[in-house]
Amino acid sequence: MSKRATDPQILTANRLIDGRVVYWQGAGWAESLAEAEIFDDPEAADAALKGAARSVAERVVVGTYLFAVRLDEGVAVPVKARELIRAAGPSVRRDLGKQAEGLFSPPPVHAQVRHARTTPGPARDPFDVSI
Amino acid sequence: MPLIKNGDWADDEFATVADDAALPEGAVIVSLARFEKERAALLARNARLGVHLAAPQSPEALGEDVHRLSVVVLDFPAFKDGRAFSWARLLRTRLGYTGEIRAHGAFLVDQLAHMMRVGFTAFDGDARITPQALASALGEISYRYQPAPDGQKTIRQLRAR
Amino acid sequence: MYRYDEFDARFVAERVEQFAGQVARRLAGELSEDEFKPLRLMNGLYLQLHAYMLRIAVPYGTLAPRQLRKLADVARRFDKGYGHFTTRTNMQLNWPRLADVPAILRELATVEMHAIQTSGNCIRNVTADHFAGATPEEIEDPRPLCEIIRQWSSLHPEFTFLARKFKIAVGATVHDRAALLYHDMAVEIVKNAEGRTGYRVSAGGGMGRTPYIAQLMCEFVEREDILAYLEAVLRVYNQDSRRDNIHKQRIKILVNAIGAEEMRRRVAREFEEIKAQGYLRLPQEELDRIAAYFAPPKFEPIAEPVAEYEAARTKDKRFADWCAHNLAAHRAPGYAIATISLKPIGGVPGDCTSEQMEAIADLMDAFGLAEIRVSHEQNLVLPHVKKRDLPAIFARLSELGLATPNAGLVTDIICCPGLDYCDLANARSIPIAQKIAGRFADLKRQEEIGELKIKMSGCINACGHHHAGHIGILGVDKKGVEHYQLQLGGSGAEDAAIGEIMGPGFTAKEITDAVERVVDEYLRLRQPGERFLDTYRRVGMEPFKNVAYLEQLHAAY
């Protein structure tokens, strides 16, 4: 997974019992990206990842890893589309997943624009693939 | 090492000897490389002999000598490496080997029933491989579709009764 | 269709409890995730982006109404009310809880269904021509052999921990509707010079990172020897395949590394031995016994033309359009094969709601249709429909949103779940397919374009068969941003070919325009009677490449 050394990171996993996406929020696992602890320091992030081995051993979660985010007005926006989709749910089924359960708020407009790598403009759907 | 034979714990009467170690008295298991190098001497010893085959090594390399062996050890470097299932089968059906086929390595309880079917008779695995686990694994699926070296009746044969 | 006897039923029931035990051991910590993963995969259970995914086997794509109802039921009770039909003719649930999977499997077992070997490094669910038993073209119904292979491969003691997955397909017609030569092993039912029926076996096909067309292993295997031959191929594969590099462990790599000739020699040696020992001989009585389950329904003698059907076509343009595209010739006069498209414009290719599944099952009961098929093109097929019932069936399908008249047309896009669901994906595929389908939504335009198979995958694993698309689209990740490569000239039919990569990828914004320009260029270049594929084969990549990149070219100036 490519990430710039300077990007802050978030620790994520899937819950063993039901597979749901969870984020490390300092004292345990949260379901919403907004609650995730943001690691500015790569060493702290790595330490948290190591520490998560305990949650794996206790069969709470599986598949722990770090992913890169960028901060926009203090809000963490995943660098990769994959993590945005994991945080929200399928982009083709807005009625399903965290986006339908009040567990996902769309990133701020600036962040979306940056993610989509287009010129700034009016508020856009973060998943929009239309022209 | 804990060893399971005939469904129960058994003493390992064989010493597994490294390629560069001196041979002790009595029954030994050596690698294929050592067997090929010291074949005459090994076969001339007045003691039982076994060969430990690595996962990529076909038992065909043993040729007719296989009938002079008391045990063939087949290796599972990882449980996902299923080559030994075919090697065991080949030992039984092509080479006609009737001695002990011993599984060694990282196999799982969930593979034991398949291993018994293709001809394994002894198990040298991790702490979870116990006689109880073996008995339970063998009881999980009562019927089988394929003919195999264990000679168990297939579903087609049972249907024909 | 096949019905379980006491042995099959107990086998599946015990397999369910075996898996329930594995789940319990995982939850109790007796199995690590590394150890559990291959065990759960062998029973069709993945961990995807948002949740677990359960892949339920639909052996050779055949379902009875009660099975369709059960799929609807488990999708509603244990999932989110829909299922996804795949290019392997299976059905996937996208949101099951691990703890619920044993209960789901127990439910499926009540209607003779399971998830055995829908994933993992073992012999996978066997697929067949979705027109089997109904098309006038075939030598015989391939499904009895599929069922025999299903039984032989279920928990095969020797071949359950192969180097990689192993997919087998069976066909019986000159027209290949099952992408036979893209399988690890393809079995074609053929007649030899003496008029005897037997099997032509090829091996080493596959898609993924390194696509290959299968190579001929044996021109004619006698009926009674087919299991011996399959076992021989599998044994050579299990013994000789690489195990040191996951990307080089499919049989296609072995066949191409040692060459088809050497592969044939090794297989022949095993085959002769197995044959001589006789333990896998398939007696004609067994073939007949299984074939009897697949006996076609008693076809009524119906004279053509069928007045009600012809009248409805004249009267109702929408019905006429649907008939023109979604019906295929049937072996019996007065009957037709009807494709239910799961590709509504703007929908998710292959998705079907519980309500739709139940309504289709009701419709089948109402019209005396005992079975339905899942096609590798992610559609459903009613194999034996009386033409006089078609107007009523069409009306009901229309109400259900299942009467899109696009089978085989440019909007009938094969599409994997992609990054919207899949852990392996690099890019989304569904929204691109939706966008392309929307662009070509006009039926007149689709008819003008004619047969054009667009196939799209969200990663190199090629679940969306992009290598075999007349136009193939592959989603890739370019520095965290989704990009799409175009491939042209692939085919999964009897003229199997691997598509050629056009060049650098397109962004999500550009790809639809690029596809449209390629299609328009075909319309400009084609000669009378040519499909897109024919024109491509005549003129090559260059003209299409010249138009596809126009946008980037303009942007550069």
Going residue by residue through chain A (131 aa), what tens digit of pLDDT does each one get? 444 557 999 999 999 999 999 999 999 999 999 999 999 999 999 999 999 999 999 999 999 999 999 998 888 999 999 999 999 999 999 999 999 999 998 876 555 544 444 444 444 555 554 43
Q: Which of residues 327 through 356 in chain C touch A, CB cutoff 8 A?
A: 348
Give the span between the Cα atoms of A64 and A50, in whole angstroms: 9
pLDDT (0 to 100) of residue A125: 59
> Given an 8 Å threshold on Cβ–Cβ distance, is A117 in contact with C481?
yes
Instruction: Give exposure, C150-179, as e/b (b: 16+ Cβ within 10 Å).
Output: bbbbbbbbbbbbbbbbbbbbbbbbeebbbb
Spatial contact of C14 and C89, defined as CB atoms under 8 Å apart? no
In this prediction, residue B2 has a pLDDT band, given cuts at 50, 70 and 90, of confident
Rounded average pLDDT over C113-138? 97
CB-nearest partner of C15 from B94, B115, B141: B141
pLDDT value, residue B1: 56
A86 neighbourhood in chain C, CB within 8 Å: 49-50
pLDDT for res C266 = 98
Q: For an interface test with C, which of B83, B91, B128 has the most C Cβ atoms less than 10 Å from its Cβ?
A: B83
Cα C539–C545–C548 angle (5° rounding)? 125
Pairing status of strand C127-128 against strand C380-386: unpaired
C113 CB-near residues (< 8 Å, 6+ apart): C56, C57, C58, C67, C70, C71
Co-location of C436 and C500 in the same domain: yes
C-alpha span between C221 and A13 (Å, rounded): 50
Of A62, A82, A97, the CB nearest to C47: A62
Q: In what order do the strands lie in the sheet with C215-222?
A: C127-128, C168-171, C185-191, C197-203, C215-222
Look at residue C481 and tell me whether its pLDDT is greater than 70.
Answer: yes
Residues C188 and C142 both lie in one domain? yes
Over residues C267-312, the pLDDT tens digits come to 999 999 999 999 999 999 999 999 999 999 999 999 999 999 999 9
Among the partner-chain residues C50, C52, C513, the one whose CB lies closest to the CB of A86 is C50
Nearest CA-CA partner of A16 in C17, C426, C31, C71 = C31
Angle at B138 between CA B133 and CA B143, to 5 degrees: 160
Q: Is the pLDDT assigned to residue C448 strictly greater than 80?
A: yes
- Kindly state whether residue C299 falls inside one of the protein's structural domains: no
Chain-centre distance for alpha carbon C251: 19
Task: Note whether residue C209 is domain-resident.
Answer: yes
Average pLDDT of span C245-256: 97
Residue C132 lies in a domain: no
Residues from chain A that touch C513, judged by Cβ atoms under 8 A, are 131
Q: What does the alpha-carbon distance between residue C492 and residue C414 come to, in Å, rounded to a whole number?
A: 12
Shared domain for C172 and C259, answered yes or no, is yes
- Which residue is listed with tokens 């076909």? B58
Lookup: tokens for C75: 């999708």
The predicted structure's pLDDT at residue C124: 98
- The alpha carbon of B69 is separated from its chain's Cα centroid by a whole number of angstroms, namely 12
B115 CB neighbours in chain C (<8 A) are: 157
Asked whether residue C66 falls in the same domain as residue C174, the answer is no
The Cα-based distances of C282 to A88, B68, B92, C253, C473 in angstroms read 53, 36, 22, 30, 42
Q: What angle do CA C504, C510, C516 make, to 5 degrees?
A: 100
What pLDDT sits at residue A109?
59
Buried b / exposed e over C304-329, threshold 16 CB at 10 Å, is: eebeebeebbeeeeebebbbebbbbe
Instruction: Give mean pLDDT, residues B94-106.
Output: 97
Looking at residue C80, which CATH number applies to its domain? 3.90.480.20
Q: How many domains does the structure of chain C reveal? A: 4
What pLDDT sits at residue C281?
A: 97
What residues make up the domain containing B146?
3-159
Tell me whether residues A59 and C49 touch, CB distance under 8 A: no
Give the C-alpha separation, B10 to B26, whole Å: 17
**Angle C468-C469-C475 from CA coordinates, rounded to 5°:** 100
Q: Are B131 and B139 in contact (CB under 8 A)?
A: no
- Give the bridge partners for C251, in sequence order: none
Q: Which residue of A has its CA nearest to C26?
A: A59
Helix axes C390-399 and C354-366, enclosed angle (nearest 10) = 160
Instruction: Give the model's pLDDT for residue C386.
Output: 98
Residue A118: the pLDDT is: 45
- Which of C51, C428, C431 is nearest residue A18 as measured by Cβ atoms? C51
Read off the CATH number of the domain in which B85 is found: 3.20.20.70
Above pLDDT 90, what percent of chain C? Answer: 98
| Contact criterion met (CB < 8 Å) for B141 and C8 | no
C150: in domain: yes
Q: Do B93 and C277 touch (CB under 8 A)?
A: yes
Q: Are residues C144 and C97 in the same domain?
A: no
pLDDT in tens, C335-363: 999 999 999 999 999 999 999 999 999 99
Sheet of C335-340, strand order: C62-63, C372-374, C380-386, C335-340, C327-329
Structure tokens at A15: 């819950």
One domain for residues C266 and C165: yes
**Within-domain flag for C301:** no
Note whether C317 and C277 are same-domain residues: no
CA B129 to centroid of chain Cα atoms: 15
* C-alpha span between C433 and C415 (Å, rounded): 7
- Contact in structure between B48 and B66 (CB atoms under 8 Å): no
Q: Which chains touch C (3 or more CB pairs under 8 A)?
A: A, B
**Residue-number span of the structural domain to which C83 is assigned:** 6-109
Same domain membership, residue C169 and residue C25: no
Could you report the per-residue pLDDT of B58-87, keeping only the tens digit for each?
999 999 999 999 999 999 999 999 999 999
Question: Could you give the CA distance from residue C290 to residue C293 in angstroms, rounded to a whole number?
Answer: 6
Q: Length of chain A in residues, anyone?
A: 131
Rounded to 10 degrees, what is the CA torsion of C339, C344, C349, C355?
A: -80
Q: Kind and range of the H or E element at C509?
A: helix C508-525
Residue C424, pLDDT > 50, answer yes
pLDDT-derived band at C197, boundaries 50, 70, 90:
very high
Chains A and C touch (3+ CB pairs under 8 A): yes
- Ramachandran class of C489: left when φ > 0, alpha when ψ lies in -120 to 50, beta otherwise: left
Residue A128: its pLDDT value, please? 56
C451 domain-assigned:
yes
Q: Which residue of C has its CA nearest to B88?
A: C158
Q: How many angstroms separate the first and last alpha carbons of chain A? A: 28
- End-of-domain residue from the set C360, C382, C399: C399
A-B interface (Cβ pairs under 8 Å ≥ 3):
no
DSSP for residue A105? -
Among the partner-chain residues C51, C431, C480, the one whose CB lies closest to the CB of A92 is C431
**Mean pLDDT across chain C:** 97
Q: Which residue of chain B is at minimal alpha-carbon distance from C232?
A: B86
- Please tell me which residue of chain B has the smallest CA distance to C270: B94
- Cα A68 to Cα A8, A32, A91, A108, A111, distances in angstroms: 6, 16, 20, 17, 14
Same domain, C27 and C145: no
Do residues C282 and C332 share a domain?
no
CB C212 within 8 A of CB C165: no
8 Å CB contact of A80 and C51: no
Number of domains in chain B: 1
ipTM for the assembly: 0.97
Residue B27 has pLDDT above 90, yes or no: yes
State both tokens at C187.
């079995």
Q: Which residue among A63, A92, A97 places its CB closest to the CB of C348?
A: A92
Name B37's Cβ contacts closer than 8 Å, sequence gap at least 6. Answer: none
pLDDT digits (tens, 9 = 90+) for C54-109: 999 999 999 999 999 999 999 999 999 999 999 999 999 999 999 999 999 999 99
In chain B, residues with a C-beta closer than 8 Å to the C-beta of C279 are: 147
Average pLDDT over residues C534-545: 98
Q: What is the CATH number of the domain that holds C165?
A: 3.30.413.10
pLDDT tens digits, B119-137: 999 999 999 999 999 999 9
**Residue B108 identity (one-letter amino acid):** L
- Confidence at residue C480, expressed as pLDDT on a 0 to 100 scale: 81
Looking at the complex, does the CB of residue C427 fall below 8 Å from at least one CB of chain A? Answer: yes
As a whole number, mean pLDDT of residues C207-227 equals 97
Query: Do C143 and C227 have their domain in common?
Result: yes
> Is residue C178 in some structural domain?
yes
Question: According to the model, what pLDDT value does residue A110 have?
Answer: 54
The string of DSSP letters for C238-280 reads HHHS--S-GGG-SHHHHHHHH-HHHHHHHHHHHHHHHHHH-TT
A chain contacts of residue C27, beta-carbon cutoff 8 Å = 16-17, 59
Annotate B4-58 with DSSP letters as a single string: EETTEEE----EE--TTSPP-SS-EEEEHHHHHHSHHHHHHSSS-EEEEE-TT--
Q: Please work out, in degrees rounded to the nearest 5, the angle formed at the alpha carbon of residue C214 by the alpha carbons of C211 and C219.
A: 175
- Of the candidates A21, A86, A129, the beta carbon closest to that of C432 is on A129
Residue C124 lies in a domain: no
* pLDDT average, residue stretch B83-99: 97
Same domain, C338 and C452: no
* Cis peptide upstream of residue C305 (ω within 30 degrees of 0): yes
